[in-house]
Structure 1
Amino acid sequence: MSRYRLFTPLAFLFAMACGSAVSTTLVTHATDAPAAPAATAPASGVYYEIFVRAWYDTNGDGIGDLNGVTAKLDYLKSLGISGIWLMPINPSPSYHGYDITDYYGINPQYGSMQDFQHLLDEAHKRGIAVTMDMVINHTSQQHPWFLAAHDPADPHHDWFTWAGAHPDLNAQSAPGGRIWHKLGDTYYLGDFGGGMPDLNYDNPAVRAEMVKVGQFWLAKGVDGFRLDAAKHIYDDFKSREHDPDIVTKNVAWWTEFHDAIATVNPRATLVGEVMAKSPDELAPYLKPLGSVFDFPLAEQLIVSAKSERVGKLDKLLEDTYAAYRGAGDVPYIDSTFLSNHDQERVMSRLDGDGQRMRMAAAMLLTLPGRPYIYYGEELGMEGRKPDENLREPMRWQREAEVGETRWKPSSVNQGEAVSVQAEQDDPASMLNFYRMLISWRSQVGALRDGDLRMQATGNSHLLAYWRQDGSQRVLVVHNLSGQTATWKPASQVLPKDASVLLKSKSDVSLTGDSLKLPAYSSVVLH
């Protein structure tokens, strides 16, 4: 059985998560619109990614703001969210904010430090944790540090990396593109383009400053950080990608950062963006960070949902937790997701197929880890590259009204049906399907905190796995296909008194030793 251990996030979320065992008579399905979670309900452990610019506008300028996040905390609470991840909120010359000019400030388009403090206070009142995007691999080209660094005599010159006398101007960065960028008669290193010069972490002054930045925001009450480009602190050149020495240097820095952060808040949540194609590439970062985004799993969940077949998913899950165990005896949590601000939205990748979208969500929200939902995903919002089209305004009303952001026009024009207003009271909506799944995690401790063991079904369309915590053991089964499936487990697989605990459709049934699953359905047995 795979070992799955929780990386301690927040004391108050732990307190909320320690609910009593779920009633054995509990059965819910997708045609029942779940009520908003009670204030004393256990936390779901589900997090939600917000692009503030696109979220909700409270001052009428068409740009989302921090007060808009505060205004919609009750919506997030009704969804069952335990924490939010705010994409960059620091001052920046770009719309996305991933090139920062002041690590200690708030983007004035989003509001003030007082607005941010109010958001923290109101979120915490609702038991919602707040994590910030920490973008410290690079600064903006317009950051005062880099402007000062133009002078070789200035101490900040050594805060960045400069080319020698004969640089290879065709050298590629690990993320892709040319790595050297011209400034006067010399060149500086920038993994993500000339507008984002990389900081030099071999300089102790840089490391000390970034520790100071993290401690500053924790002192404000922030609960943790999403660490942008976590593997690129030292992983710069494509020619040295996957170099063990580079990984070792990255891990050493994040260990230093973690230990310094822990002096302010030992329970701070850290999650690293480590772009990887295999679990083995993720595993080394678990010891210093406790969690990384599981990119290989995200890709396979969508592939399995789209093909309506388990495919490589069961093997990948086994390999993932084997690799994580191999990282050493450290607590960890798998940060799972389907898509984020850099990837095409799930509904678009599934060609607008809502049934397959529901199966992707059902798998995500019944597997181990801390699942992240990208804003609007719960509505079925679409979005394809370029990046701006992945970050479009959140759809609140059937028709644009006060509060809707206008930072860019829609590229998909899905219509009024894809909006909170339209889906709120429709029991069969995507929004209420997500609410139901999130409520399952809140109600069933084994889904939220349990370990994972795969269960063979002999059917390529059926995915099954056991989830078990200290007091509860449940079997989750998904029918990924558009056809009804019947599964008769071998003897001894199910207990004699097994019954349906939760189901996504009303006609899921367990009769004797025969489980019947209609098309695109999920069930939790105990």
Structure 2
Amino acid sequence: MSRNRLFSSLAFALSFALGAATTNVSAADATPVPASTAQQPSGVYYEIFVRAWYDTNGDGIGDLNGVTAKLDYLKSLGISGIWLMPINSSPSYHGYDITDYYGINPQYGSTADLERLVAEAHKRGIAVTMDMVINHTAKDHPWFVDAQHADGAHRDWYSWTSKQPDLKAISATDTPIWHAGDDGWYIGVFGGHMPDLNYDNPAVRAEMIKVGQYWLGKGVDGFRLDAAKHIYVDFKSDVHSAKALEKNVAWWTEYHDALAKTNPNVTLVGEVSATSPKELAPYLKPLGSIFDFPLAEQLIVSARSERAGQLSNLLKATYDAYKAAGDTPHIDSTFLSNHDQERVMSRLNGNLDHMRMAAAMLLTLPGRPYIYYGEELGMEGKKPDENLREPMRWTREAGPGESRWKPSSVNQGQGVSVQAEQDDPASLYNTYRTLIGWRAQNGALRDGDLTVVATGLPNVVAYWRNDGKQKLLVVHNLSGKSAVWKPKGDLLPKDATVQLTTKPQAALEHGALHLPAYTTVVLH
């Protein structure tokens, strides 16, 4: 790298420094993106709870037109795709119990509003995926209302028994699995208000494929598949059942192949709660992508402890398992938290340095990273679930457009808002914007494979990213103390240079990499 290019990278890092507090450069003036790469996609997705996002009709509830209104915010952040939490008709605030798979929750708008959102998103190069909740329906769904009668046309769309079952039997989610209906007992893994559909019934399979094809026909790009492993993993005894896994894989293969006839490029990502890569890997072939829960947990643990810990071993085990799973591409959908988990900033006890490092690791690893709305601001939130899904904070003082669906459970002040953080070059928002920009501008960070490098330092993580055209070495100092790492042997080429850094004090001198506290460096 030339001295001029290195100076440009360092200036760029200073203006958006992870933790830098001294700069007079505005955020608007500090994004030197080469014209040839300015429009490259980052591949980063963003999860939105529509109710909490942005309100355009003054009723205090976020709506689909509100998502459309804020597409330019997402574009500015560098987002390539959005995941809309459930928007179908539902009696609940969260929407994970659907009463009409072909309808839009009227609080959110109409099908026409969704089509407009999709069209405007596509103009900006942003894909739109919907939450598809097809493991179960709402108890109020007309199908289940009909199924309550032993002779109902939809009786076999759910799993019933007329003889009293073992009411102490436990589901795969550690809750009672049998629930009393009007005429017998039915399976509801997530509770009696969410009766499970019976996927051994061909009519159910055909209908759910029809639902997916319908929304693809409206322009949606794909689906986040809720409770993907629970189609057949119902009882506690099913959790490690090879038969249940085989039936899940067969169904999702059928589903994907059918949807691909409508859109060959359909994007599917499965929610498969698991504790190891081996549990996740079988779902890669039928779905193409799955959420990486084990990695999400380890990234938070490593950032909070300021130690790599088991991160390197987990990364190796993950990609070894994925390679063994078969067909490519295998897209690891990475994340730090979602709507079911305590927000990252709360898990990190409000430590901004730890938050920056967690983000830096997430956004320099392979896969399709997902950001939960407000994560880029450092929004906090602890259980119960409602407190994890609070209104997005747009302005310093709550004003028109801000969702009022529930009051805040935390008091973070005016500084945790889009308005405040966009104006602060050293904010967490601008940290995210910078890291996402790195991913967009460097194919190796976006599309490259991964090779973990042993550093010999407990606080320093390193890995190569290589897409065949570009090879980059990413190094993170997770600790609050500066570190010096001297790579062994010929790991680095003699002309290696610092291409990107989050703190301008980072330097490669005489074969030794000097890393200030809480720093990420990319070497070329």
TM-score by shorter chain over 0.5: yes
Aligned: 1:505 with 2:489: no
Contact preservation (8 Å) 2:162, 2:183: no
Q: Residue in 2 aligned with 1:279?
A: 277
Letter in 2 for 1:314: S
Aligned: 1:323 with 2:300: no
Q: Residue in 2 aligned with 1:86?
A: 84
Deviation at 1:36, TM superposition (A): 9.7
Contact preservation (8 Å) 1:30, 1:433: no
Residue of 418, 421, 429 corresponding to 1:420: 418
Aligned CA distance change for structure 1 residues 130 and 30 (closer, same or farther; 3 Å):
farther
SS for the counterpart of 1:215 is: helix
Q: Residue in 1 aligned with 2:333?
A: 335
Aligned: 1:402 with 2:432: no
Letter in 1 for 2:193: G
Deviation at 1:185, TM superposition (A): 4.5
Q: Residue in 1 aligned with 2:126?
A: 128
Aligned CA distance change for structure 1 residues 373 and 298 (closer, same or farther; 3 Å):
same
Q: Residue in 2 aligned with 1:106?
A: 104
Aligned CA distance change for structure 1 residues 350 and 523 (closer, same or farther; 3 Å):
same
Q: Residue in 2 aligned with 1:295?
A: 293
Q: Residue in 1 aligned with 2:20?
A: none
C-alpha distance in 1 between matches for 2:514 and 2:377: 28
C-alpha distance in 2 between matches for 1:206 and 1:468: 44
Aligned CA distance change for structure 1 residues 30 and 404 (closer, same or farther; 3 Å):
farther
Contact preservation (8 Å) 1:120, 1:221: yes
C-alpha distance in 2 between matches for 1:473 and 1:115: 43
Residue of 172, 188, 194 corresponding to 2:170: 172
Letter in 1 for 2:287: L
Structure 1 stretch displaced more, 235-244 or 298-307: 235-244
Letter in 2 for 1:191: V
Question: Where does structure 1 lack aligned partners over 5 or more consecutive residues?
Answer: 1-22
Give identity over the alignment, percent: 71
Contact preservation (8 Å) 2:148, 2:183: no
Letter in 1 for 2:240: H
Q: TM-score when scaled to structure 2?
A: 0.95
Deviation at 1:436, TM superposition (A): 0.3
C-alpha distance in 1 between matches for 2:92 and 2:383: 18
Letter in 2 for 1:376: G
Structure 1 stretch displaced more, 359-368 or 38-47: 38-47
Deviation at 1:516, TM superposition (A): 0.6
Contact preservation (8 Å) 2:38, 2:441: no
Q: How does 1:184-333 map to 2 (within 5 A)?
A: 184-333=182-331
Q: Residue in 1 aligned with 2:353?
A: 355
Structure 1 stretch displaced more, 219-228 or 505-514: 505-514
C-alpha distance in 2 between matches for 1:470 and 1:312: 28
C-alpha distance in 2 between matches for 1:206 and 1:430: 45
C-alpha distance in 1 between matches for 2:14 and 2:410: 27
C-alpha distance in 1 between matches for 2:297 and 2:94: 24
Q: Residue in 2 aligned with 1:138?
A: 136
Contact preservation (8 Å) 2:149, 2:183: no
Deviation at 1:184, TM superposition (A): 2.8
Letter in 2 for 1:317: L
Q: TM-score when scaled to structure 1?
A: 0.94
Deviation at 1:31, TM superposition (A): 2.8
> What is the Cα-based RMSD across aligned positions, in Å?
1.3
C-alpha distance in 1 between matches for 2:382 and 2:503: 31
Contact preservation (8 Å) 1:26, 1:501: no
Contact preservation (8 Å) 1:271, 1:335: yes
C-alpha distance in 2 between matches for 1:25 and 1:266: 44
Q: Residue in 2 aligned with 1:491?
A: 489
C-alpha distance in 1 between matches for 2:411 and 2:274: 33
SS for the counterpart of 1:77 is: helix
Aligned: 1:48 with 2:57: no
C-alpha distance in 2 between matches for 1:248 and 1:164: 28
Contact preservation (8 Å) 1:345, 1:381: yes
C-alpha distance in 1 between matches for 2:238 and 2:142: 30
Contact preservation (8 Å) 1:229, 1:272: yes
Q: Residue in 2 aligned with 1:12?
A: none
Question: Where does structure 2 lack aligned partners over 5 or more consecutive residues?
Answer: 17-26
Q: How does 1:356-505 map to 2 (within 5 A)?
A: 356-505=354-503
Deviation at 1:479, TM superposition (A): 0.2
C-alpha distance in 2 between matches for 1:491 and 1:210: 56
SS for the counterpart of 2:90 is: coil
SS for the counterpart of 2:419 is: helix
Q: Residue in 1 aligned with 2:24?
A: none
SS for the counterpart of 1:515 is: strand
Structure 1 stretch displaced more, 83-92 or 152-161: 152-161
Contact preservation (8 Å) 1:30, 1:432: no
Deviation at 1:35, TM superposition (A): 3.9
What count of residue pairs does the alignment treat as equivalent? 504
Letter in 2 for 1:462: V
- Encode CA deviations 1:212-232: one digit per residue, 9 max, x unaligned: 000000011000100000000
